[in-house]
Amino acid sequence: MDQKFPYEDELLQMKAGEEEVLFLKGRAFLVSPATDEDIERIGKGFYCMD
């Protein structure tokens, strides 16, 4: 099964430093490409080894 993550193409086109607001069921989420520092600071999430 080869389903894409919703908005995958748009997210993958984002450049470092760009931000978008994603609204889901009345809540707003800030979305931006993560840096290595962001991943280390947050310390949780999902890693995909392609």
Q: Is residue 14 in some structural domain? A: yes
Q: How confident is the model at residue 2 (pLDDT cuts 50, 70, 90)?
A: confident
pLDDT tens digits, 14-23: 999 999 999 9
Least confident among 23-27, 29-33, 34-38: 34-38
Q: Is residue 16 in some structural domain? A: yes
Pair 21, 31: CB distance under 8 Å: yes
Q: What is the pLDDT of residue 10?
A: 94
pTM listed for this prediction: 0.65
Domain boundaries, position 19: 8-42
Q: What is the pLDDT of residue 16?
A: 93
Total domains in the fold of the chain = 1
Least confident among 10-19, 28-37, 39-48: 39-48
19 closest CA partner among 30, 7, 6: 30
3-state secondary structure of 45: coil
The encoded tokens of residue 34 equal: 């993560």
Pair 32, 20: CB distance under 8 Å: yes
